[in-house]
Amino acid sequence: MIPTSFLTAMNTIAMAMIGLTLIAITTISVTTVAMTVSYARRRRVPSIRSSIRSRASSGITPQITPRAISRIISRMTALLAASVFLFCAPRSNAAVNVDMSVSHAGPRAVEPLLERGILRDYRIAWISLAHALEFNAADALSGPFVSTARDTLMNNVSSQRRSGLSTRYLNQNHKVEAVYYAPEGDVIELHDAADYQLQILDGGKLIHDEHVVMHYVVLMTPAADHWVVRQLQAVPQF
Amino acid sequence: MKTILTIIVVATVVLVAVGLLGAGQTKSGTIGFANGSALPGLTPKADTPEQAVTNLLNDVQKRRWDAAYGALSKTSGVDEETFREEWQGSNGSLRTFSNLEGSELRPVHATNDDAQIRARLRWTTPVGPIEDVRDFRLIREGGLWKVVWPKQQVANVPAQVVPVTYLRWDLVSGDGKDEWGARNIDPPHVRIVSMNAVNSAEGSAVMGEVVNEDTVPAFVNVGATLVDGGGNPIDDENSFDKIDHVLLPKQITPYRIDFPGIDLSKVKNVRMDIKASLVPASADPVIGVMNQKIDADVQGRSVLRGELLNQSGQTVNIPHVIASFYDNNGKVIWVSDGYVDRALLPETSEPFSVDIPRSLAGKVQSFHVVVNQYSLGKS
Amino acid sequence: MRRENHPGRGFAAAAKAAVGRESGSAAVNRCATQNRIRLAFYFCLSVALSTLSASISAAQDLRAPSAVTAGEAVSISTTGSGKATFYLVGPGVSNKSDVALGNEISLRGQDLRDAGQYFAILCSDSCHSASFFVAPAKPASLAFLVHPSRVPVAASDAVSGVALAFDQFGNLNLDPGTINFQLTAGKTSLLSRDVAAHDGVAWFRTTSGKSAGPLQVVASIGELSARRNVQEVASEPCNLRIAGQRTKDGLVVQTEPVHDCAGNPVPDGTIVSFTATDASGKSTVDAPIKHGIARAEIAASGPVVVSVASGVAMGNELHIGGGQ
């Protein structure tokens, strides 16, 4: 699994790259226009040459031709595309922060190892949910969700496919509190106060963009080697 | 050009012929024979005891049973079919799935007319390589050495009807409804009753015993993770076949988990993990372990030997013996296992032996043997 | 030309400067007239756009229902006229349909089966949304988790159960009220307890009964009930005793009927280990209990000591002389 800090760092780097690339492209584009004009003028009006020479002395290489500059621009554009990809690709992973408290769980105490496991699996569940609903990929739901939770989300995906919609869950923050842990450890109930940017798109068109605060009641049960979400139900409040 | 070509061809043919004829004609006292060193019709003459055994094993390896049987002395009291069964195995035993891979010979004694050769036979089997030590007695007959093959004492079990009253447990998975909690059957309750970590010849090993405390059979597997001083896992392994996986109620099995190449001095902690699941099982066959005692084998190594007695009416194809050894404090200090390469027929017994490491032999005060069994057609 | 840096003025200042540089006084007059006309045009345009925008906003207003129960059909009212696209996005549903503004939009019960938050979005020139919650319907089933499925008798706090109420669509009912738990062994009632559910969960924990056999565990709420079976089994063997006699080939040993300390028979199939030690070594037989007793045949000669154990419980030792 990719650590959150790494993904966040990647995003920052990608953002910085996008910014720098945009600045570079703008600068070079302006220069290109100026150079193209100058180049054209230089061919027709010899007196302009002197001004170009004087510019050359202030740092602009006289050998730079518009063709070379356009090559640079195309490379910068490729870099920009790469940066955008870098930024976009891991976004659904990076933007899921989960904080968990188990101090009020009972009647059975939640051991630290179990707490880490549940936190990890719940975070993975939300990453999968976000991926499934953004790209209408039902496969992502099979591992982390079972029973009602999986059926509901599967219905969402198939329904979205039919109507051409997709949903993005961006910048997710989850404050999770375990409120019940069964005596035999076969079910844990979580209360998740989550906030995220909810974007609903019809095709490529953004039809809804809202920062929402949601309250989820979650039931998780143990599977072979991990915990799965059995119930994920939004409520007005806890 | 033509001359050079002819010379090369002739030289090659001569060298090949020399190589073939020369193979197997080594006359040194202790030899290891090379697989495929002789071609049919080019078997060297058995003019030494070692050569006679080498020829025999070569024929066995290549499954040339007529030739192998021909290398036996006329005084051998065995017919060709029995001789063949001894090498090939029968009744779905481990030997039927094994191949002779190689051997090392060592003369034990020799006179002009008789000799004894000790062969260390290496077998490849589905459960891994197995070594077998066998003594061959040879006598000189008509100028050639021949192997005397003793007649095996085959248990003569009278025809009888063995009443089958054994218990068995089946699993019913229930209907297809996915009602949460309705199809809940807990896995069997099993417990690790002892654990000990020691350095071994190959690295280190974690061993002990597990008991099924439940009233239903359990399929058990034990895993261990070695943890260093910083709390980081060094390695994790499981008991693989060094455990009796199917445990009936209240049954105890030894387990051993090997960590090759890991020195215990680097290990701060051992995390144990036991997994148990429900399994259909049968209480039959009951296999008694008779006349167990610690002894020295022909090579002087300490072994625990005894006999397995099949007290049921069905054939056990591959018996597997697992033994735990205790010191005078009752602590498990080693767990050994071994496969018996002959099938265990109903109401008959087969000898077994398992090794005890030389360094621990003196500390062993008592032992406990369990028998795992694999029968064809049964899961 | 002297350049001045005026933060915030940027392009306007530059444009003014450009215009100023380009023209003389006549040009200035002509430009002023053009600017006035342009200003008037922009003013009229903005007034028209504002009016249009206001009317569109009014047309796309939609009013979400306040209290909805899962599986119930509801309607959303809209105002205005013309056509629009309506989206319903919620748990298990992402629908899109064309609607006529000013009419009510009917939401089918089957689209509101899952409890949770729904978003109703109406788009024509722009999009407007409203959200509402769907609450679970009344309990229709109980998930009842009981552990363990097999329990030794008289084990303290060994049996536990957790009940959660769900509606007919599988939504967790967070406030189902009080759930009753009953434990019955044969005809004897071991427990009857009412437990108020918190956060949708009610649970109990109790000691197992004193005799082996099936234990019925029932959770009920109103007319709903869920039944589970727990098998109460004998505890560890107690007072394990053996007797034996010599035979032609060795000896036969067998246990007395094997019971736990409460007198419950230990289940058949339980392994009893017999160990005989004589001059030739040690012999062991792991024999299962059949019809309450375990029996083994052991090859032994001369004086022999036989011991017995089942799991970690030990039994008596039997000394059999060589002549017997």
Distances from the Cα of C48 to the Cαs of C40, C41, C53, C58, in angstroms? Answer: 12, 11, 9, 16
Question: Which residues does chain A have within 8 Å of residue C95's beta carbon, measured at their own beta carbons?
Answer: 159, 163
Asked if the structure places residue B159 within a domain, the reply is: no
Q: Under the phi-then-psi rule, with left for phi > 0, alpha for psi from -120 to 50, and beta for the rest, what region is B162?
A: beta
Q: Does A191 touch chain B (CB under 8 A)?
A: no
Q: Does A201 touch chain C (CB under 8 A)?
A: no
pLDDT in tens, A125-170: 999 999 999 999 999 999 999 999 999 999 999 999 999 999 999 9
Asked if the structure places residue C241 within a domain, the reply is: yes
Asked if the structure places residue B359 within a domain, the reply is: yes
Place of tokens 């049921």: B312
Residue B22 has pLDDT above 60, yes or no: no
**Chosen domain end from A73, A88, A103:** A88
**Range of lowest pLDDT (A91-100, A120-129, B25-34, B220-229):** B25-34
Same domain, A25 and A122: no
Residues of C with CB under 8 A from a CB of B: 141, 143-150, 226, 228, 231, 233-234, 237, 267-273, 280-288, 290, 296-299, 310-312
Tally of domains in chain A:
2
CA distance A233 to A231: 6
Same domain, C129 and C147: no
CATH of the domain at B267: 2.70.50.60
**Chosen domain end from A88, A115, A146:** A88
Q: SS in 3 state form for B4-33?
A: HHHHHHHHHHHHHHHHHHHCCCCCCCCCEC
In a mutational test of the B interface, the residue from C215, C255, C285 whose CB has the highest number of chain B CBs within 10 Å is: C285
Tally of domains in chain B:
3
Contact criterion met (CB < 8 Å) for C162 and A183: yes
Distances from the Cα of C297 to the Cαs of A123, B26, B183, B345, in angstroms? Answer: 60, 54, 41, 17
Neighbours of chain C (3+ CB pairs under 8 A): A, B
Dihedral sign of CA atoms B151, B155, B157, B162 in order: negative
Tally of domains in chain C:
4
Residue of B nearest to C147 (CA): B186
CATH of the domain at A226: 3.10.450.240
**Chosen domain end from C206, C233, C260:** C233
Asked if the structure places residue C181 within a domain, the reply is: yes
Classify each residue of B39-65 as buried b or exposed e, where b means 16 or more C-beta atoms within 10 Å of its C-beta. eeeebbebebbbbbbbbbbbbbbeeeb
Same domain, A60 and A116: no
Contact criterion met (CB < 8 Å) for B288 and C147: no
Give the structural domain span for C81. 62-135
Pick from B285, B170, B152: which is nearest to B216 by CA? Answer: B170
CATH of the domain at B367: 2.60.40.3230
Q: Is the preceding peptide bond at A107 cis, omega within 30 degrees of 0?
A: yes
Confidence category of residue A2, pLDDT binned at 50, 70, 90? very low
Same domain, A20 and A108: no
What number is the average pLDDT over the span A17-33? 57
Give the structural domain span for A61. 4-88
Residue B267 has pLDDT above 80, yes or no: yes
- pLDDT above 70 covers a percentage of chain A that reads 61
pLDDT in tens, B24-82: 343 333 333 333 444 555 678 888 999 999 999 999 999 899 999 988 998 888 888 88
Asked if the structure places residue B59 within a domain, the reply is: yes
Confidence category of residue B377, pLDDT binned at 50, 70, 90? low
| Minimum distance, in Å, between the CA of residue B195 and any CA atom of chain A | 23
Residue of A nearest to C125 (CA): A207
Cβ(B239)–Cβ(B207) below 8 Å: no
Question: Which residues does chain C have within 8 Å of residue B370's beta carbon, measured at their own beta carbons?
Answer: 286
Same domain, A182 and A106: yes
Please tell me the predicted confidence (pLDDT) of residue B249: 93
Asked if the structure places residue B202 within a domain, the reply is: yes
**Chosen domain end from C135, C163, C197:** C135
Same domain, A107 and A192: yes
Residue B199 has pLDDT above 70, yes or no: yes
Same domain, A172 and A77: no
Residue B135 has pLDDT above 50, yes or no: yes
β-pair type (B130-141, B144-148): antiparallel
Question: Which residues does chain A have within 8 Å of residue B180's beta carbon, measured at their own beta carbons?
Answer: 147, 230
Dihedral sign of CA atoms C36, C38, C43, C44 in order: positive
CA distance A211 to C267: 62
Cβ(C73)–Cβ(C109) below 8 Å: yes
Same domain, C227 and C241: no
Tokens of A225: 């080697």
Neighbours of chain A (3+ CB pairs under 8 A): B, C
Asked if the structure places residue C298 within a domain, the reply is: yes
**Range of lowest pLDDT (A72-81, B313-322, B368-377, C238-247):** A72-81
**Chosen domain end from B279, B300, B323:** B279
CA distance A125 to B316: 49
Same domain, A82 and A103: no
Question: Which residues does chain A have within 8 Å of residue B178's beta carbon, measured at their own beta carbons?
Answer: 147
Low-confidence ranges of chain C (pLDDT < 50): 1-28, 31, 47-59, 324
pLDDT in tens, B246-264: 999 999 999 999 999 999 9
Residue of C nearest to B211 (CA): C311
| Minimum distance, in Å, between the CA of residue B203 and any CA atom of chain C | 31
CATH of the domain at B93: 3.10.450.100
**Chosen domain end from A62, A88, A114:** A88
Asked if the structure places residue B99 within a domain, the reply is: yes
| Minimum distance, in Å, between the CA of residue A78 and any CA atom of chain C | 31
| Minimum distance, in Å, between the CA of residue C184 and any CA atom of chain B | 18
Asked if the structure places residue C244 within a domain, the reply is: yes
Q: Does A180 touch chain C (CB under 8 A)?
A: yes
| Minimum distance, in Å, between the CA of residue C322 and any CA atom of chain A | 54
Cβ(C119)–Cβ(C129) below 8 Å: yes
Residue of A nearest to C175 (CA): A238
| Minimum distance, in Å, between the CA of residue B262 and any CA atom of chain C | 33
What number is the average pLDDT over the span A63-84? 54
Asked if the structure places residue C9 within a domain, the reply is: no
Tokens of B36: 């495929």
Please tell me the predicted confidence (pLDDT) of residue A111: 93
Same domain, A198 and A161: yes
- Those of residues 107-146 in C touching chain A at CB distance below 8 A are 114-117, 119, 121, 123, 127, 129, 133, 136, 145
Q: Which residue has the higher pLDDT, B328 or C59?
A: B328
Question: Which residues does chain A have within 8 Å of residue C147's beta carbon, measured at their own beta carbons?
Answer: 183-184, 186
Same domain, A21 and A67: yes
The size of the A-B interface in CB pairs under 8 A is 3
Please tell me the predicted confidence (pLDDT) of residue C46: 53
Distance of CA B343 to the CA centre of its chain: 12
| Minimum distance, in Å, between the CA of residue B254 and any CA atom of chain A | 25
Same domain, B95 and B67: yes
CA distance C304 to C281: 10
Question: Which residues does chain B have within 8 Å of residue C273's beta carbon, measured at their own beta carbons?
Answer: 252
Same domain, A158 and A184: yes
By Cβ distance, the residue of C95, C170, C203 closest to A148 is C170
Same domain, B207 and B248: yes
Contact criterion met (CB < 8 Å) for A217 and C172: yes
Q: What pTM does this model have?
A: 0.69
Please tell me the predicted confidence (pLDDT) of residue B10: 65
Same domain, A55 and A73: yes
Same domain, B40 and B134: yes
Same domain, C224 and C266: no
Pick from B187, B98, B160, B83: which is nearest to B345 by CA? Answer: B160
Residue of B nearest to A147 (CA): B178
Asked if the structure places residue C72 within a domain, the reply is: yes
Same domain, C121 and C46: no
Same domain, B33 and B117: yes
pLDDT in tens, C134-189: 999 999 999 999 999 899 998 999 999 999 999 999 999 999 999 999 999 988 89
CATH of the domain at C196: 2.60.40.10
Question: How many degrees, rounded to 5, is the angle at CA B55 between CA B49 and CA B60?
Answer: 130
**Chosen domain end from C135, C168, C200:** C135
Contact criterion met (CB < 8 Å) for A107 and C205: yes
Please tell me the predicted confidence (pLDDT) of residue B19: 46
Contact criterion met (CB < 8 Å) for C269 and B283: yes
Q: Under the phi-then-psi rule, with left for phi > 0, alpha for psi from -120 to 50, and beta for the rest, what region is C75?
A: beta
Asked if the structure places residue B113 within a domain, the reply is: yes
- Those of residues 128-167 in A touching chain B at CB distance below 8 A are 147
By Cβ distance, the residue of A155, A182, A208 closest to C129 is A208
**Chosen domain end from B246, B279, B312:** B279
Give the structural domain span for B326. 287-374
Place of tokens 């013309």: C82
| Minimum distance, in Å, between the CA of residue A150 and any CA atom of chain B | 13
